[in-house]
Every structure is written in structure tokens, then in C-alpha cells.
Amino acid sequence: MTAKRILGLDILPGSSPSSSEEPSYAVVILENEKVIYSRHNLSRRSLIKLINETKPDIVAVDNISELFRNKLDLKKFFRETSFVPKIIQVTKISNKYISLRNLIKKYNLGYETKISPLKSAEYIARLAEKGVGSSIDVFEKEIHIIISRRRSLGQGGMSSERFKRKINLSILRLAKNIKKKLRENNFDFDFFYRKTSYGLLNALFIVYSSNSNRVFKLIKPWKGQDIQIIVKPLLKKKIEFKCDEKENSLSSLSSKKFIIVGVDPGISTGLAGIDLNGFPLFVFSRKELGRNQALNIILEYGKPVLVATDVKNPPLYVKKIASEANATLFYPEKDMMVLEKRKIVQDYMSKYIDQIKVADSHQRDALAAAIKAYQYFRNKFEKLEAEIRKTNVKIPLDRAKVELIRGKSIKDILREYMNLGKKKNEMIRKPILETVDEDNDKIRSLIDKINRQQDIIKNLEIENRELKNKIMKMSRYIEELEEKISRKMQEIVKEIREKREIAALISKIRCLENELDKRNREIEVLNEKINAWKKVVNIAINDGIIPVIYVNALSQKSINHLLRNGETLEDRVIYVREPAPGDIKGAKKLVEKRIKAILVSREMPEPVKNVFEASLIPVISIDLFKLVKIGNEIYVEKKKLEKSIMNEKKKLERKRDMERERRIYEVIKEYREKRIREILKKG
């Protein structure tokens, strides 16, 4: 047995899959007898990633428990790997365990006294390359392909209905495409679906193939925004080695009782079994139940000789089960209605109220099909029993019933068994001895003993069936619990991931909100500026505008700051927001710069005001004008300001002229008074 690529692994000392900490492995990959990869310390997560990337044909171990603790661990491992390699335990040969050290010596691979985990991994790979060991039979020969929606379709109006239509049509298109691919590649498969008015609600393909990787290459798992395709191989109930003996094969059923089986296939499949006397054996239903699984469940109770369905056109699923079991297929002349099935099952269960319970419609339909098949043959069975009693020939009743089911007439069945009895009598001739009363007593005693034993056997068979039902229920319960645990773990991981994503999104939202507030503030400022500029434009259109230099206060500090900025003050208008208390030195500096006018928001102290007015610089209230402030820039309507400056200047000029006249008058007056005093003094 050779393979292109083999991955050998050995768990590191101190590591264990059962530990709370993640186990570590030494890993070696061989390709055409050459080591192409080796790593001493690889975590389980990294190992799965490596398997997905390198896609080895074989993963070889010296003990399967180094990889998997239990079936749940096995499921998790294969759910995480997108590629399904063959797993070989090199130390298990023909149901015997042989130590790795002995195998290394036997195949002359090395003679080290102490073998490192990395070297062990290489030896394990080389042993697998030589065909040593047993492969682990992990999967049923079934791969399930499920097409379903990813999110729930809640209540809604027209838009919700359109969305449902879109999803249902998309599932239908995907199902048609997958069906076409499977047919083109000659796969044996069953197809189940739930139909809607517009398309399909969901779809299930059960593909029967021992090569799951071939299916994975053809149909890849996919997750869209609204729809997903899940491709998953079906894990066996327990891990088996291919060298182990198989149970429940059809060839080993010669000693088992003959049974009638009803089958109701679908996304959820129902099974029911009764014996040839009409006694209930089991009812069962499960989602995604493939033919192989269904047949294994049936074979636990007996050999099926009649496989029944409740519709006149038997589904392919039922036909193939009947064919694989070498059983006769039964179907009614017309489809059984729901009311008919309910009545048949209710009447039947009233007789066997303690022996059987029906949990759902799939179990009911399967049981109804089995009962219908039994009822069809019941009169023939009773007639056969009556004819057998007349013959006084020992004929196995159940085997005779099977022959009847397979189409032989009662007359032919009796003739065959009677001829067989004659042949036996000819081959074994026994002298006819006269019987005595003592012998008759012994015979009667033995017959009584046989009858008692038969009663015990019958009771044990009933008890056995009940125990089997309990075991099946417990197995289903355990599987359901394992599935629940697995789903819960997935939900917890998903919830943790979602919480982290939500926390990250909340943080991002806060940052964006802060950024938005900042932008909004900037927008507000810009809007204010825009509105101010609009005012400026309106004023400019109507009266013209003039920029005014803004000073916060009339102080030397503010004036010096203005001068340091290099502003040209000559013939400019200055707006002083806080004219009081004012500073005479600052005022003089502005006068020196030959400014045009001063605008104030309130009254300026008289001494300071006099400094400006003495130089014919008007001090005017800002309230007289339309003022627009943009940042530190202020704009005032030009015509009105110039008119006010001109009027104020005229007033100041008149005031100055009047003051000059007053002073001249005062000088002349003073001179006259002085001359009068001098004349009077001389005279």
C-alpha cells in the first residue's frame, strides 16, 4: 500500500487530548519516501491547519487515542478539517497490538535505544508507507449535502415575502445544479426536499460513496449572505478498524426472525417493524437518515422480507432498501390518506398499547405502511397455517410465510415441504417400535418441558425486543445529547466571537460618534461663516462693505500685538470691543499711526476719547451699523460708516474751530485787560 503523501505524528510527552491544555505533536510529512516537512512542537489547531493545507493521503498514528478522546472529539476534528484523509494506526495488525519499537526493529527502520517524538513520527509515517497497520473506519459510506437558509425569515410585509421568494428560488436553483453534477458523475444518491409555492424551503442530498473527498471536490461547502451549502461525511456510531469483524451483514441473518418493515422517507425518515404474526418490534424516526443507516437499524431486529410504503408510486429510497435487503416491495393500489393511516395505527395500537408508542407523523406513516402490508397477507397466512395443520407434516411456519410473500402458492409450498419430508424419511429409515405407556409418559413430559421452554423463549424474546428498544432510545438520546453539546459549544464560541465583534463595533461606533460630533461642530462653524458671508455679500450688494481691524481692548498690550502682526493701520477703521478703562499711551500710538476712526461697543472714557478727537479721529458707536464678524475679521456697511465718519469729522472740525476761536478770544481778552491795567497804572 503506497501513497504520495503521508503525515506521521506522535504526541509530545506530557501532552494529552484529555487535558484542559491543547495537546502538542511532533509531525513529519513524507512524499515519495522523502521528508518534505518536519516540526517538533505543533499545536492541535496548527495540525488541523496543516492537514487542510497539505492534504495528506494518510494520517498515521501509533495510537488513535492521541488524536481523539471520544466520538464528540472525532466529530469536532472532522468538522474542522475541510479534507478527509485516511487514518491508520500502525500498531494495530490483525486485531493485535504490536509496539512501535518492535515494528521499527521488524522492518529494519532503526536501532536507537531512545527515540525522540520527531523520529517516532517519521517511523510511523514510514510504516504506514509500507502498508503496516489498520485503517480506521470512521465514516459511513454516506455524505450529506444540505442546502438551507442562513438566517430566520421573520414576519413582514411585501418586502419580506419577496425576500422569502428569492431565497426559495435560490435554494431550488442550487439543488438543480447539485443534482445535475451528481448525475453527471454517476453518484448513487437520494434527494429529499421541502417544497414551497416558489421553490424549496430546504434540500438534502444523501450521497452513497466510500470516497468522500471525491464528493468534496465536486460539491464544495459554501456560505452566502442568505443561503449555505453544508457538505459533511456521516460519522459511524463507534470507531472501527477495517480488520475488525463486521456484524449485522445480510449473510449472517439466517438465524434471525423474518420481519415486515414500513418506510416513510424524507428529510426526516420513519421506520417501523412488525413480525410475520403482526407483533410490533420497533418504530423509529430520525433526520437525514441514509439507506445504509436505515438498513443497519432494521437488521438489528431481523431479516426484512417485506418492505412497505404508503404511496402507490414507491420512492426510489424504499425500492433500493428492498433491493439491498433482497426483500419483496409492497405498495398500495392508491396513496393512503392521512385519515386512513391514523385509523389503522390507532386500531393497531389499541391491541399493543404497552408494546409501542408513536412519536411523530413519520413513525405513524411507516407503521401504517407495515400494518397495511401485513393485512394484505394476513388471510393468506391464516389459510397457510390451516393447510399446514391438516398435513401433519413439520413445516417451519415463518419460512413458509416468506415463500408465500415471494409469490409461491400455498399448494406449491406444501408440496415442496412434503417432498422434502419424504426424502428425509427415505434417507433415514428408522424402525417403527411399539410404544409403551412408560415411553408415552416420557414423551408427554418432554412435550410439556418443550412448551415451557418455548414460553420462556417467547418471554425472553419479548424482553429482548423491549431491551433493544430501550438501547436504541438511549443511543438516540446519547447522540442527541452529543449533538446538543456540540451545538452548544458552537453557540458559545459564536457568542464569544460575536461579543468581541460587538465590543469592537461599539468602540468603533464611539470613535465614529466622536468624529461625527467633531465634524458637526466644524459644519456648524462653517455654516455660521457661510451665513456671515451671506450677510457680507448682501451688505456688499446693497451698500458696499469695509473691513474693520478688531482689537479686544484699548491697552498697550493689544496695540503692541496688533503692531507686531504687521497690520497697516494708516487710514483704517479700528473696532475696540472693550474701550474702558482705556489707555492714553495706547491711544496715542494709534493716533501716531494716523488711523481713520474708532468704533466702540460702549462709552469710552473721556480723557482717552479726547486724545482721538484732538487729532480729528472720530469715536463712533458700533450699534449704528450692520456688523458681520467672521473669525477675527469684522465687516461694516461702507456707505453708512463713511457718512458717519465724515459727519463726525465735521463736528470735530467745528468743535476745533470753535475752540480755536475761543482761545483767540481769550488771548485778546487777556491782552485788553492787561493793557487797561497798564494804562490805568500810568495815569
Tens-place pLDDT, residues 230-244: 888 887 776 667 654
Does the pLDDT of residue 507 top 90, yes or no?
A: no
Q: How far apart are CA 38 and CA 23, in angstroms?
A: 17
Is the domain defined by 5-132 classed in CATH 3.30.420?
A: yes
| CATH 3.40.630 given to domain 142-241 | no
Maximal C-alpha separation, the chain: 212
- Does the pLDDT value for residue 421 go beyond 70? no
Residue 21: pLDDT band (50, 70, 90) is confident
Q: Please give the C-alpha separations between residue 201 and each of 152, 198, 228, in angstroms, as whole numbers.
A: 12, 9, 12
What is d(CA 574, CA 600) in angstroms, rounded to the nearest whole number? 9
| pLDDT surpasses 50 at 245 | no
In order of 270, 420, 421, 434, 537, the CA distances from 427 in angstroms are 49, 11, 10, 22, 131
Average pLDDT, the chain: 82
Q: Where would I find the H helices in 107-229?
A: 117-129, 158-184, 212-218
Q: Tell me the β-bridge partners of 627.
A: 636
pLDDT for residue 249: 47
Pairing mode, strands 303-308 and 328-330: parallel
pLDDT value for 683 = 64
Domain boundaries, the chain: 5-132, 142-241, 250-427, 431-535, 543-669
Tell me the pLDDT band of 65, cut-offs 50, 70 and 90.
confident
pLDDT above 80: residue 204: yes
pLDDT at 435 over 70: no
Q: Measure the CA–CA gap between 124 and 89, rounded to whole angstroms.
A: 9
The count of other CB atoms within 10 Å of the CB of residue 266 is: 19
Residue 58: enclosing H or E segment and its boundaries?
A: strand 58-61
Confidence of residue 583 (pLDDT cuts 50, 70, 90): confident
Q: Is there a shared CATH topology between the 5-132 domain and the 250-427 domain?
A: yes
Mean pLDDT of 590-602: 84
Q: Which CATH architecture has domain 543-669?
A: 3-Layer(aba) Sandwich (3.40)
Q: Which residues contact 144 (CB under 8 A, 6 or more apart)?
A: 204, 205, 206, 207, 230, 231, 232, 233, 234, 288, 290
pLDDT tens column, 66-104: 887 776 777 777 767 767 788 899 998 877 888 888 898
Please determine, for residue 248, whether its predicted confidence score (pLDDT) is greater than 50: no
pLDDT of residue 152: 60
The mean pLDDT of 272-290, rounded to a whole number, is 91
Give 183: exposed, middle or buried? Use CB within 10 Å, 0-12, 13-18, 19+: exposed
Q: Please give the angle made by the CA atoms of 69, 73 and 77, to the nearest 5 degrees.
A: 125
- The kind and range of the H/E element at 639 are helix 638-682
Q: Which amino acid is at 147?
A: I
The C-alpha angle 71, 247, 475, rounded to 5 degrees, equals 40
pLDDT at 444: 67
| Helical (H) or strand (E) element with 628 | strand 627-630
| Cα–Cα distance measured from residue 485 to residue 558, given in angstroms and rounded to the nearest whole number | 78
- Give the tens place of pLDDT for each residue, 534-566: 666 666 655 677 788 888 787 777 777 777 777
Which range is least confidently modeled, 256-270, 369-383, 426-440?
426-440
Task: Point out which residues pair with 283 in neighbouring strands.
Answer: 272
Q: Given pLDDT bands bounded at 50, 70 and 90, which one contains residue 333?
A: very high
DSSP 151: S
C-alpha to C-alpha distance for 5 and 58, rounded to whole angstroms? 7
Residue with cell 463736528: 651
**Segment 575-597 mean pLDDT:** 82
Of 295, 294, 292, 332, residue with least CA distance to 314: 332
480/262: higher pLDDT: 262
As a whole-number percent, the residues of the chain with pLDDT over 90 amount to 24
Q: How far is CA 537 from CA 41, 212, 550, 633, in A?
A: 76, 79, 20, 14
Residue 422 has pLDDT above 80, yes or no: no
| Averaged pLDDT, 271-287 | 91
Confidence check: pLDDT of 486 > 60: yes
User: What single string gives the DSSP state of each residue in 435-491?
Assistant: P-HHHHHHHHHHHHHHHHHHHHHHHHHHHHHHHHHHHHHHHHHHHHHHHHHHHHHHH
**Nearest residue to 598 via CA among 531, 521, 652, 561:** 652
112 versus 384: the higher-pLDDT residue is 384
Residue-wise pLDDT tens digits, 105-143 = 888 887 777 889 999 999 999 999 988 988 887 777 888
Torsion, Cα 121 122 124 127, to 10 degrees, reads: 180
CATH topology for the 250-427 domain: Nucleotidyltransferase; domain 5 (3.30.420)
